[in-house]
Each structure stands twice: as structure tokens, then as C-alpha cells.
């Protein structure tokens, strides 16, 4: 990236731009960066110090787009211009499509470039669908579970009474089948109702204690062939939350990952990575947060089946034989109780569950 020589600007007057969620750069007429806001830093994966003074067109997949726009601004061909482009991100091969609005500041001669990631709107829509679906699921599950619970008790009780009246002991095999299946359904109902029964017990939570607890539990269950790698940012502060619910949410996700790694565990190269980071100036759940916990659970398994990718957080949806389809639903419920969100990005060989929770 070429560096354009410029005097050190006074960036104090731009600090308010750190409060906006859009990507903003203030440029000199020749394209040199005077200021980049926190959202742009975060998206590009570069520090403000690195960005300031550099040629901003170099961060575009097609630098000529911005260069042409800057030439038009210098020639006073327009006061503002909109166009579509793509920004290159550090350590990532794919570029981010953005909608660009370029405007000239009349008094200073500076150029304000504001960018909206085109994927951001799609992501916001997806988050909204997840929240609405979670609320619908909660009501559906609660009503369905209560409707099932009462008849189940009657079926089990009738089977027990019938068993007591049987003269032929061999016939008790059939009543035992009824009782056993009723108990199995009762267990499923209890699991469906579990997140709505337990109170939200708030205290100070250290996310790495949660991660270590989950890591130890999973390694006891899978002592051979599975490695759980840590990648922690130890500067993450404690926050207020329900430690037990967060342990259960993370455990459900990690156990789900371990269960799909069966073939890799058999050959000894199964890997799950627990990664924690601080995300800055992020928007999720239609709210802007200055700081948020970003916890990733990454596995090297076969990936989420394409047919259920959009429905993996729905209750009773599973890609495994014998799976209940409740683990990820409960995890999402517990994280949403912390005003957070779980997202999933999956391709064959790499599945990444990303947990976002606001930090103080």
C-alpha cells in the first residue's frame, strides 16, 4: 500500500464519527486518509494509525473507481456521488461489497466517504428473523409441551393400573413398553420447558472460566481423538450474566460439534477451537454496542447440511440420526437472555458458531 505524504492532521474533530455504525473515512482531495472511524478499522482489520496517511483507493478491489470519483470531486463535477464497490479486508481473501457515498465538505475541501456493507442489511434481516422465530418457538413449545404433559400422565397412570390387574406376567412386557415410552416423551417435554422454568440468576461471569469448564467436560466425554484448542483474549472483562446458562449454551454447541466429528475422532484428527475476542462498535439485534464479546466455536467437521442451514436453531431440527434437535435451540434461547445472538457460518471442513454478547 503506497503512503501519501501529508502533515499530521488534527483528528479530534472527527471523534464523533466513531459513534456511527457505518464505515467512514475522511480523505484529502488526493485520496490520502485523514481519519478512519472505528467501524472502518474493525471491518478492514487495520489500525487507525496504519490507515491514516495511506492512499484509500488501494483498499478497494478496483482502485480506479475511487480515483475517478476523487478526480470528479477535485474538478467540482458534483457535490456528492454514490456508487457500488468492494473493499479488501486484511487476512481475508474475499472482498466486502459496499455502497459508497462520497461528498465534498465545502469549507475544508476534505472529502467524506461513507460506506454501507451490502451484506449488513441481509444480516440484519436474518437477525430479525431469528428473533421473531425464537419468540414464536418459545410460545409454540410452551403451549405444545403443556398440551402433551397432561395426557402423558394419564397414559402412564392407566398403564400402571392395568399392569396391576394382569394375571399373566408375560403381558406386563406391553405395559412396560407404554410406561417406558411415556417416560421418554415426558423427558422430551421437560427439556422443551427447561429454559422457561429456570430463573435468570445474574452474577459476575468470566467467559474463560465458562470455556474451561466446557472444555474439561467435553474432553472427559471424548478422551481420545479430539483436541480442543484455546485461542483466548485474556483482556476481556467480566460481565453480568447467568454463568450456568452460558455454560449450558456453550456446552450444547461444543457437544454438537463433537458429535459431528465422529469420523475425524476415529482417525485422531478432530479439532474444536474456542476463540474469544472483543468486537468494537458492533451492531446486532438492531442495537449498537461499543464493546461485545465475540466467542467462536470452530470445528473441522463435514459442515452443516445445506438443507437445514437456515433452520438449525429451530426446535426439533437436526442433521444427526438420533439427535433431538433441541441443543442449538436452547443455546440460542440462553444467549438471547443475555441480549446476545448466535450465528453460524459453515462450509465443508469448517463450521464456525459465533456467539455475540454485549460487554459493559
28 contacts 110 by C-beta, under 8 angstroms: yes
Q: pLDDT tens across 71-129, in order?
A: 988 888 887 899 989 888 876 667 888 889 999 887 677 999 999 887 665 666 666 66
d(CA 354, CA 345): 8
DSSP symbol at 238: P
Distances (CA, A) of 260 to 174, 254, 315: 35, 10, 18
325 contacts 316 by C-beta, under 8 angstroms: yes
d(CA 195, CA 48): 43
Q: Alpha helix (H) ranges present in 89-206?
A: 118-165, 172-197
Positions of E strands within the chain: 23-27, 33-36, 80-87, 96-104, 111-117, 203-205, 226-231, 239-241, 270-284, 287-299, 341-347, 350-358
Q: pLDDT tens across 152-174, in order?
A: 888 888 888 888 888 888 888 88
Enumerate residues 6+ apart whose C-beta is below 8 A from 32.
4, 6, 53, 54, 55, 56
Highest mean pLDDT among 14-23, 137-146, 269-278, 288-297: 269-278
Enumerate residues 6+ apart whose C-beta is below 8 A from 230.
211, 215, 273, 274
Q: pLDDT tens across 170-220, in order?
A: 888 888 888 888 887 777 677 666 655 556 678 899 999 999 999 999 998
The total of other beta-carbon atoms located within 10 Å of residue 339's CB is 15
Amino acid at each position: 500500500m503506497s503512503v501519501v505524504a501529508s502533515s499530521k492532521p488534527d483528528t479530534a474533530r472527527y471523534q464523533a464519527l466513531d459513534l456511527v455504525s457505518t464505515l467512514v473515512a475522511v480523505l484529502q482531495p488526493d485520496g490520502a486518509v485523514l481519519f478512519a472511524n472505528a467501524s472502518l478499522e474493525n471491518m478492514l482489520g487495520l489500525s487507525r494509525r496504519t490507515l491514516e496517511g495511506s492512499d484509500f483507493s488501494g483498499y478497494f478491489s478496483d482502485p480506479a473507481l475511487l480515483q475517478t470519483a476523487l478526480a470528479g470531486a477535485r474538478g467540482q463535477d458534483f457535490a456528492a456521488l454514490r456508487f457500488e464497490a468492494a473493499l479488501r479486508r486484511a487476512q481475508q481473501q474475499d472482498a466486502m461489497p459496499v455502497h459508497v457515498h462520497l461528498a465534498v465538505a465545502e469549507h475544508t475541501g476534505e472529502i467524506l466517504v461513507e460506506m454501507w456493507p451490502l451484506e449488513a442489511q441481509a444480516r440484519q434481516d436474518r437477525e430479525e428473523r431469528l428473533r421473531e422465530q425464537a419468540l414464536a418457538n418459545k410460545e409454540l413449545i410452551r403451549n405444545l409441551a403443556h398440551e402433551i404433559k397432561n395426557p402423558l400422565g394419564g397414559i402412564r397412570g392407566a398403564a400402571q393400573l392395568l399392569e396391576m390387574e394382569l394375571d399373566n406376567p408375560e403381558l406386563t412386557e406391553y405395559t412396560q413398553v407404554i410406561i417406558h415410552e411415556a417416560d421418554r416423551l415426558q423427558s422430551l417435554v421437560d427439556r422443551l420447558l427447561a429454559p422457561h422454568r429456570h430463573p435468570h440468576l445474574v452474577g459476575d461471569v468470566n467467559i474463560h472460566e465458562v470455556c474451561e469448564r466446557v472444555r474439561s467436560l467435553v474432553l472427559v466425554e471424548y478422551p481420545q481423538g479430539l483436541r480442543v484448542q484455546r485461542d483466548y483474549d485474556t483482556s476481556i472483562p467480566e460481565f453480568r450474566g447467568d454463568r450456568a446458562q452460558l455454560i449450558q449454551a456453550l456446552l450444547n454447541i461444543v457437544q454438537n460439534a463433537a458429535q459431528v466429528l465422529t469420523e475425524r475422532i476415529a482417525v485422531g484428527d478432530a479439532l474444536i477451537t474456542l476463540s474469544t475476542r472483543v468486537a468494537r462498535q458492533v451492531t446486532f439485534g438492531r442495537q449498537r454496542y461499543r464493546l461485545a464479546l465475540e466467542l467462536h466455536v470452530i470445528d473441522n467437521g463435514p459442515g452443516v447440511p445445506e438443507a437445514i442451514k437456515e433452520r438449525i436453531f429451530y426446535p426439533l431440527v437436526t442433521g444427526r440420526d438420533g439427535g433431538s434437535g433441541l441443543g442449538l435451540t436452547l443455546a440460542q434461547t440462553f444467549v438471547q437472555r443475555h441480549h446476545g445472538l448466535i450465528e453460524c457460518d459453515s462450509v465443508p471442513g469448517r463450521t464456525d458458531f459465533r456467539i455475540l454478547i454485549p460487554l459493559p
